[in-house]
Structure formats: structure tokens, C-alpha cells
Amino acid sequence: MLQRRDAPKLWVLLDEAVLMRPTGGARVMREQLAHLLEMTELPHVIVQVAPFAVTAHTSPGNGITYLRFAMDGLPDVAYIEHLTNATSVNKQESTDEYRWILDSLSAQSPSPAESRDLLRQALKRYSVGNRLSDGSAV
């Protein structure tokens, strides 16, 4: 979908923790990070890595997907993931709060160019011959 001529704009804020936790193992992490770096080369894809140092009042604590639609009359939607379920809200006063959280988080995060550097560093950590933070070989 992101390769289409009429692809939507995608803005992603990743928690730094996802770069440190080898979900699926080193090979999966290498593949995922390489793909993510490739996607950041697209002009309509913005990726930022939210650092551990972000203050608690702007860190959502759980996954938020914020959707804006190009069609007039469709409200923004915030989709919030919880441990066992998810909630979606489309009332403007609620979506405005989630938008403020995401805007604040973005403002406190490295730029997209700096975030690409963080992604490259993470990819190197999962390269063959390196060791993970727990001492295990990659």
C-alpha cells in the first residue's frame, strides 16, 4: 500500500523499547528494521523514535493509532490498544487530546533523520556476529 502512487501519508512514533527488545529473534529484528529503514526513504513516510527520556505526561503508555481522513465530513479517529482489547474514539474533544499527546511526543523525539540513524544503530546491534544486551550471540 505504501508503494502505491496514491499512498497515504504515514507518520510513525516508535517507542525506543521496540528497538531494544528482540521480539522474534535477531533475524526477524534485522528484517523488520531493514524494511522499516527502506520505508523511511519514501517521501510520504515519517518515522520518529520516541526516546526513553520522554516525560511521563506525554508518553501514552500504550499503542495509539491516529487516523485522519482526506474526505470532508469524516472525523479523526484515535484507536487505543489495551492489554486485552482496544477502543476507538471519534469525538473531537477526545481525539484532540490524543493528537496533543502525539504532537508533544513528536516534538520531544529526535527528527526523522536522527531517528533513521537510531534505526541503523539498532540494525547493527542485530547484525550477525554481535551480541545482544543479554550476552547471547546474534
Res 62: pLDDT: 77
User: What would the DSSP string read from start to end of 109-136?
Assistant: SPPHHHHHHHHHHHHHHTSTT-B-TTS-
Q: For residue range 55-109, list pLDDT tens digits in order.
A: 655 666 678 899 998 888 899 999 998 889 999 999 999 999 999 989 989 999 9
pLDDT at residue number 129: 65
Q: Where are the domains of the chain?
A: 10-125
> What pLDDT is recorded for position 57?
58
Q: ∠ at Cα 110 (106, 112), nearest 5°? A: 85
Q: CA-CA distances (angstroms) from residue 105 to 27, 49, 85, 95, 101?
A: 30, 10, 24, 15, 6
| The overall pTM is greater than 0.85 | no
Q: What is the pLDDT of residues 10-68, one digit of tens each?
A: 999 998 988 988 889 889 999 999 999 999 999 999 999 998 887 655 666 678 899 99
Say how far apart CA 89 and CA 78 lie, in whole Å.
5
Do residues 132 and 22 make contact, with C-beta atoms less than 8 angstroms apart?
yes
pLDDT tens, position by position, 117-128: 999 999 999 987
Whether the Cβ atoms of residue 34 and residue 123 lie closer than 8 Å to each other: yes
